Amino acid sequence: MTGEFIAFFVLSLLTIGGAVFMISFTRVVHMVISLGITFISIAGLYVLLGAEFVGVAQVLVYSGAISILMLFGIMLTKHDASDEGTGNTWKNWLSLIFVAALFGLMFWGIQSSVWPAPPETAASDVSNVKQIGLDVFKRYVIPFELISVLLLVALVGAIIMAKKEGNKE
């Protein structure tokens, strides 16, 4: 029972628990809090996996930006808590069955597959931030640039769409 295992256990419990609560809560604040917990726990998982940079980015982007964005999204639109309850139960059950089936299949796949033995030592002591930086700006420079363009376009597009129309008409 190493410390790593305990950390993993706790973090994954928080992740899944947060996700499940997020799905089942009906009040906005609760949802966003549980969402934040999930995201942060995932960041912890990343750190556990030796991906500190990704973990930090996760905290920045997801826990920081996206959760807040979602909060705004929910608050800006009319939120009626009672709405959720009247969903189509028949559809819910069907979806549940499908999802469970998918889970079963995947679980079976994961369990029955042979995985390579975990490496004896950690890959390298070189901070993977540097490694990432090297790779991003050498090998993946074009996707990186494209992503930036995508972000720009998304930014502009989001502004245009969310802007109030009809003022000039």
By CB under 8 A, name the one of 10, 29, 49, 141 that touches another protein: 49
Supply the minimum distance, in Å, between the C-beta of residue 120 and another protein.
Answer: 11
Which of 109, 125, 138, 167 is the binder for another protein (CB under 8 A)? 109
Is 107 a residue that touches another protein (CB under 8 A)? yes
Site string for another protein, 68-87 (x = CB under 8 A): -xx-xxx-xxxx---xx-xx
Q: Exposed, middle or buried by CB within 10 Å (0-12, 13-18, 19+), for 35?
A: buried
Question: Binding of another protein at residue 40 (CB under 8 A)?
Answer: no
Query: Residue from 27, 30, 38, 125 that binds another protein (CB under 8 A)?
Result: 38
DSSP string, 93-153: HHHHHHHHHHHHHHHHHHHHSPPPPPPSS-S-SS-HHHHHHHHHHHTTHHHHHHHHHHHHH
Residues 6+ apart with CB under 8 A from 76: none
Give least dist CB 53 to another protein, A.
7
